[in-house]
């Protein structure tokens, strides 16, 4: 079978309200989100996976328990104004027919605002935001029948960093530009569990309901796979196509090859090793460039495969297009002018319901928009196909997870982060530019 093979854990899920208005932190000992300011009920009745807890009073018109189809926020079940902690639970059977070389991973694409996940009462780790996936190899923990639990916490608005709706100011500094051959900063577990509270950030969703808005699924993988894959372009004449990432899996000495194909030919075939990062580049002379002012842009599929022996053990595809040399030279000045404009359009997550309509509306706004939220991939593809340039805000703490995933979209022409975060994380952001500039804004 092609890897990864995906089994989506959609509805129905059981949910239970555990508390209301909980200010939260993260526990290294349990791997769950817990009360940072010592909610007495939470303190006396632990909520680690598999435990139980009395319900705190909730609004009478909303249920404290029920069933729901996921992924979804809790607006329809608990109300858009609900703040607190909710546990979601689903049963599933162990996948059948697993081969000795296959592993089963549990993947949670993200929750709003923060949370944790567990399997059969065993904590697996934290989920640090709605755009920060969490993964765990659960092969050795699987039973014939299993229970996955996802705890989601959204504290009161007063506890949220960045809850106020602020307009980014013109950039006060430029931290980095991507450079050819620069490897992104990649680690197998970039954010280990700590006993300190995790900051709650939900860019572009401050006015929306919380909940498990990301997909939860099983992925059957071979022994090796690629994490943090980025397919991106380094502007130039000709531009360079880069493929970067981190090879996950055991260091068995098995020869591995990273192969990328596009435009009906093999683009690169390079040796890689488990546990190491890579960044390979090749010139592109005959690819349709972006943007194309005279026609709808063409996105070219790039297939990336990890091969062991004669078999592909992991594969995926990204659609992309190289920036034209003329457009790339203009982006810095255009981005600066956009940020200075008092009526510049900025997207929130709530505007992502109709990608094609959103792109069409903003196409007339000078061909450039900003995005506060990390939007669904379909929205960025719509911008790609509408010649709309995007200045993408990314919290520095999310950059290692978000930027590689979005790097193939030609419409994203710059990244932006708060000035204080940019200064503190300048080195890591430099390695996560993926051919763009990083802008700092605000105080």
pLDDT value of position 61: 64
Q: CB of 126 within 8 A of CB of 116?
A: yes
Q: What pLDDT, on a 0 to 100 scale, did the predictor assign at position 33?
A: 43
Q: At what angle do helices 377-385 and 355-363 cross, to 10 degrees?
A: 40
Which pLDDT score is estimated for 348? 85
Domain interval for residue 254: 224-320
pLDDT value of residue 269? 97
Please report the pLDDT score of residue 180 as a whole number: 35
pLDDT of residue 23: 46
pLDDT at 174: 38
Q: Tell me: do 148 and 89 sit in the same domain.
A: yes
348 and 306, same structural domain?
no
Residue 144 lies in a domain: yes
Residue 175 lies in a domain: no
> Into how many domains does the chain fold?
3
Show the DSSP H helices in 69-212 as ranges. 75-78
Instruction: Note the pLDDT tens digit of each residue in 319-347.
Output: 999 998 888 888 989 898 888 877 777 88
148 & 54 share domain: yes
Q: Quick one: CA dihedral 40, 44, 50, 56, positive or negative?
A: negative
Q: What angle do CA 367, 293, 242 make, to 5 degrees?
A: 85
On whether both 75 and 208 belong to a single domain, the answer is yes
CATH of the domain at 249: 2.60.40.10
- The secondary element (H helix, E strand) that includes residue 429 is helix 426-430
Do 228 and 337 share a domain, yes or no? no
How high is the pLDDT of residue 338?
A: 85
State which residues of the chain have pLDDT below 50: 22-60, 158-197, 443
Across the chain, mean pLDDT equals: 81
């Amino acid at each position: 079978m092609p890897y990864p093979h995906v089994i989506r854990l959609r509805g129905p899920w059981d949910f239970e309200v555990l508390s209301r208005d909980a200010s939260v932190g993260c526990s290294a000992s349990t791997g769950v989100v817990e009360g940072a300011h010592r909610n007495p009920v939470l303190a006396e009745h632990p909520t680690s996976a598999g435990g139980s807890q009395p319900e705190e009073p909730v609004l009478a018109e909303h249920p404290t328990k029920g069933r729901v189809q996921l992924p979804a926020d809790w607006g329809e079940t608990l109300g858009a104004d609900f703040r607190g902690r909710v546990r979601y639970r689903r049963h599933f059977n162990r996948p059948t027919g697993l081969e000795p070389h296959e592993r089963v991973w549990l993947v949670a694409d993200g929750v709003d605002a923060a949370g944790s996940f567990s399997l059969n009462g065993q904590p697996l780790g934290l989920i640090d935001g709605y755009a920060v996936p969490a993964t765990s190899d659960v092969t050795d923990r699987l039973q014939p029948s299993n229970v996955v639990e996802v705890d989601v916490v959204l504290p009161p608005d007063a506890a949220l960093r960045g809850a106020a709706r602020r307009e980014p100011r013109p950039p006060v500094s430029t931290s980095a530009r991507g450079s050819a051959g620069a490897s992104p900063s990649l680690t197998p577990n970039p954010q280990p569990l700590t006993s300190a509270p995790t900051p709650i950030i939900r860019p572009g969703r401050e006015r929306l309901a919380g909940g498990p808005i990301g997909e939860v699924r099983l992925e059957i993988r071979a022994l090796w796979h690629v994490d943090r894959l980025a397919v991106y372009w380094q502007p130039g004449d000709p531009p360079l196509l880069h493929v970067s990432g981190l090879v996950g899996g055991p260091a068995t000495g098995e020869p591995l090859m990273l192969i990328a194909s596009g435009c009906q030919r093999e683009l690169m075939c390079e040796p890689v090793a488990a546990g190491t990062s890579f960044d390979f580049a090749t010139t592109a002379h005959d690819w349709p460039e972006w943007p194309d002012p005279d026609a709808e842009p063409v996105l070219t599929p790039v297939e990336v495969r990890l091969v062991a022996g004669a078999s592909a053990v992991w594969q995926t595809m990204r659609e992309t297009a190289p920036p034209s040399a003329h457009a790339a030279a203009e982006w810095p000045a255009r981005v600066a002018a956009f940020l200075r404009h008092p009526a510049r359009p900025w997207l929130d997550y709530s505007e992502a319901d109709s990608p094609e309509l959103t792109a069409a509306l903003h196409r007339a706004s000078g061909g450039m928009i900003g995005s506060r939220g990390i939007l669904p991939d379909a929205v960025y593809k719509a911008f790609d196909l509408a010649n709309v340039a995007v200045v993408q805000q990314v919290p520095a703490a999310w950059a290692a997870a978000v930027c590689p995933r979005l790097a193939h979209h030609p419409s994203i022409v710059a990244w932006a982060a708060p000035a204080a975060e940019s200064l503190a994380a300048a080195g890591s952001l430099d390695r996560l530019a993926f051919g763009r500039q990083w802008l700092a804004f605000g105080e």
